[in-house]
Amino acid sequence: MADVEKKEKTKKFFLRHIWDFVLLVALSLGTASVFIARSINEQRKEEDALVATVYKNNQKMEIKDEHGKSVNPFVLSTINDEKHFTIEGSKTDLVIAVKHNSICVYSSNCPGQECVHEGWVSHPNHPIICAYNEIFIEIISHSWEEIIVG
Amino acid sequence: MDTKARIKKLTMVAILLAMALVLSIVESFIPFGIPGVKLGLANLIILLSIYYFGFWIPLAIDILRVFIASIVTGTFLGMGFVMSISGAIASFLLMYVFVRWIKCFTSVGASIIGAYVHALAQILIGVLYMNSWGIFYYFPVMALVALITGTVNGIIVEVLLNNSYLNKVVASTKKQAETSSN
């Protein structure tokens, strides 16, 4: 008797939640396909160069090295030694570090520190964002011809 | 509505707002490594208020919670705030539609939709804000977190909705308010 009651309860539960399950499965499949698309998008051709551009409030920032030469966008593939640049965010200063094929936010005074926790990024299409300072670092893979012509 | 009924209703709304606020602030200390990404625990309170109070009170709780939490955490009027408020409003509207109009889902389904739309709206606002699709990179992680927390929140709301004591308290407050307004 108890078994029948239990079965009936389980059946009722599944019938009541059937559309919830359908929704969960559909959204899970959608998310999985976006995950796969992202992984494909993240791969870089070995012969291509990696370029990082730093934006503040949607505008490309003017970042200069010790010789006064403009370095933004950074062609990360041509950098050999690690270099640090202090930039002015919307609210606080940040230190950006670049090395061969990698870029990171080295330090920031923002409360969340999400940008710093992101660590070194060396894949194209993986952005670094500091929402607090409205800083957005876009990393793109470019062919060398595009860089020389551009 | 007489003063007593008004005070009772106001107290309930204040308690719900306080609970949503505490959950918002607590979850802002749980790092996800992605700007604006949180567990979305406060959605639980919003969904519960939709079942109990309809449209305006949950909307007010949702907006006030985002405003106060962003002031407390120091992100007021920044990019994170814009993403949060847009996500909160979009998720509220969708949850309301699925709870009150299109009743094909239980609280679990409504909560999953709310959490997922919250993540999607945040990302789309980020895309507009930065004028780049780059931020879409974070969507799969956000969506995965939304699916898990949405399901958990939905289950909690279902348990609370089946709680006879809570239902009695809300029903008596509503009845008192309705009688006094007539």
What residues in A contact B116, CB-CB < 8 Å?
Answer: 27
Q: What is the least distance, in Å, from the CA of A79 to any CA of chain B?
A: 23
- Per-residue pLDDT for A150 more than 60? no
Pick from A20, A31, A114: which is nearest to B33 by CB?
A114
- Cα distance between residue A27 and residue A4, in whole Å: 34
Q: Which residue of B has its CA nearest to A13?
A: B106
Closest CA to B122 of B145, B147, B139: B139
**pLDDT tens string B6-48:** 888 888 889 999 999 998 888 877 766 666 567 788 889 999 9
The pLDDT of residue A19: 92
Is B109 an 8 Å CB contact of chain A?
yes
Architecture of domain B3-171: Orthogonal Bundle (1.10)
Range of lowest pLDDT (A68-77, B5-14, B40-49, B166-175): B166-175
- Per-residue pLDDT for B81 more than 90? no
- Per-residue pLDDT for B65 more than 70? yes
Closest CA to B98 of B113, B88, B115: B113
**pLDDT tens string B127-157:** 888 777 878 888 888 899 899 999 999 999 9
Interface of A with B in 85-114 (CB under 8 A): 90-91, 111-114
Q: Which residue of A has its CA nearest to B83?
A: A131
Coil, helix or strand at residue A136: strand
Q: Are A102 and A77 in contact (CB under 8 A)?
A: no
Q: Are B118 and B91 in contact (CB under 8 A)?
A: yes
Q: Is A24 in contact with B147 (Cβ distance < 8 A)?
A: yes
**ipTM tops 0.85:** no
Q: What percent of chain A is modeled with pLDDT above 70?
A: 93
What residues in B contact A53, CB-CB < 8 Å?
Answer: none
- The DSSP result for B71-127, as a single string, is HHHT-TTSHHHHHHHHHHHHHHHHHHIIIII-TTS-HHHHHHHHHHHHHHHHHHHHH
CB atoms within 10 A of CB B24: 25
The pLDDT of residue B27: 82
Residue extents of the structural domains in chain B: 3-171
Residue to substitute from A16, A17, A27, interface B, most B β-carbons within 10 A: A27
Q: What is the least distance, in Å, from the CA of A62 to any CA of chain B?
A: 17
**pLDDT tens string B84-131:** 899 899 999 999 999 988 888 889 999 999 999 999 998 898 888 877
Angle in degrees, CA A97, A102, A105, rounded to 5: 35
